């Protein structure tokens, strides 16, 4: 699949934003009011800005962005529509939570319930985003069990890294924040490693013989190409990437995550290293997401000459 920058920005930024927002909700649920209003408003603003930027960038990939609102009407059958509904609905508890957690509204009894609801809505939104891809049976690399955990894992990892970075700027970095960040980063690295192992081991099950139904009489090959010039479908769904380049980028993702783990752990004696950890985590997420799209092969490529998909 063509790794469009708008979709990479959407999945990376919104994942980090909802991950951070979810963790802030849990912090409010467990610890009550924020330590300072400045910290609360800054953290909430960063989370909502990332989530909003990601959602807006997703419309740039549409042929008619002005029709994006129509996606909300298909929530009964479309994970894309469910994601849109969940994303917008999350703003309601998130803004209410921001008001009471920061102290702008004097209602401490609502911090816990609103924090928990915000966490739940963020988790649902990221889950819906992941399901958009994991339910596509036409793309083998996405239609497998680890796609959803990887999306949730990156949201948690980037969100926790951002929370630690913001806390360090306000002198609020605590041991449990560092531990959560380190564990989340290490966990997502393992998940992604096992994901790559799984898609490599599964092999390409779709063939031109099966697509045409002529496999029973032998090997099938095209008599001539279907088009004399590259078309939109080939550009969007026929993106090809050399295996050696994919291997290099896979190693880069794991190296960035390992460096992020190291920086996050060393942030205990040197708090400003948590900012480095957050930047490394976001960089790893962006490269991983580019690779996620670039390595995906749609079965439509069989029509354009691919032997397997």
- Cβ atoms of residues 205 and 141 within 8 Å: no
Question: Strand, helix or coil at 241?
Answer: coil
| Domains assigned to the chain | 5-304 (1.20.1630.10)
How does the average pLDDT of the chain come out, rounded?
Answer: 90
Please report which residue ranges of the chain form alpha helices under DSSP H: 5-31, 37-58, 79-102, 111-134, 147-169, 175-202, 208-212, 232-237, 243-266, 273-294
- Cβ atoms of residues 80 and 71 within 8 Å: yes
Residue 62 confidence (pLDDT): 63
Residue 3 confidence (pLDDT): 82
Residue 64 confidence (pLDDT): 65
Q: Residues of the chain whose pLDDT is less than 50?
A: none
- Cα-based distances in Å from 80 to 9, 69, 73, 115: 16, 12, 10, 25
113-126 confidence digits (pLDDT tens): 999 999 999 999 99
DSSP letter, residue 34: -
Residue 25 confidence (pLDDT): 98
Length of the chain: 309
Residue 190 confidence (pLDDT): 98
């Amino acid at each position: 699949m063509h790794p469009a920058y708008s979709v990479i920005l959407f999945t990376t930024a919104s994942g980090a934003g909802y991950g951070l927002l979810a963790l802030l909700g849990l912090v409010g649920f467990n610890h009550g009011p924020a330590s300072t209003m400045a910290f609360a408003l800054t953290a909430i603003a960063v989370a909502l800005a990332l989530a909003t930027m990601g959602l807006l960038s997703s419309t740039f990939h549409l042929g008619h962005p002005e029709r994006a609102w129509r996606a909300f009407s298909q929530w009964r059958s479309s994970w894309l529509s469910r994601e849109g509904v969940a994303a917008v609905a999350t703003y309601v508890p998130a803004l209410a939570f921001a008001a009471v957690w920061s102290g702008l509204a004097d209602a401490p009894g609502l911090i816990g319930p609103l924090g928990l609801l915000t966490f739940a809505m963020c988790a649902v939104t990221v889950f819906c985003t992941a399901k958009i891809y994991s339910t596509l049976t036409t793309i083998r690399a996405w239609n497998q069990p680890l796609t959803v955990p990887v999306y949730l894992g990156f949201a948690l990892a980037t969100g926790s890294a951002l929370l630690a970075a913001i806390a360090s700027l306000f002198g609020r970095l605590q041991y449990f924040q560092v531990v959560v960040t380190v564990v989340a980063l290490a966990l997502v690295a393992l998940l992604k490693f096992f994901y790559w192992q799984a898609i490599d081991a599964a092999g390409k099950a779709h063939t031109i013989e099966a697509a045409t139904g002529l496999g029973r009489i032998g090997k099938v090959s095209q008599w001539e190409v279907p088009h004399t010039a590259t078309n939109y479908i080939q550009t969007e769904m026929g993106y090809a990437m050399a295996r050696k380049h994919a291997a290099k980028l896979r190693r880069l993702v794991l190296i960035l995550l390992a460096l992020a783990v190291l920086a996050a752990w060393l942030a205990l004696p040197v708090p400003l290293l948590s900012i480095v950890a957050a930047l490394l985590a976001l960089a790893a997420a962006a490269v991983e997401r580019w690779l996620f799209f670039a390595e995906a092969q749609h079965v439509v490529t069989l029509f354009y000459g691919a032997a397997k998909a």
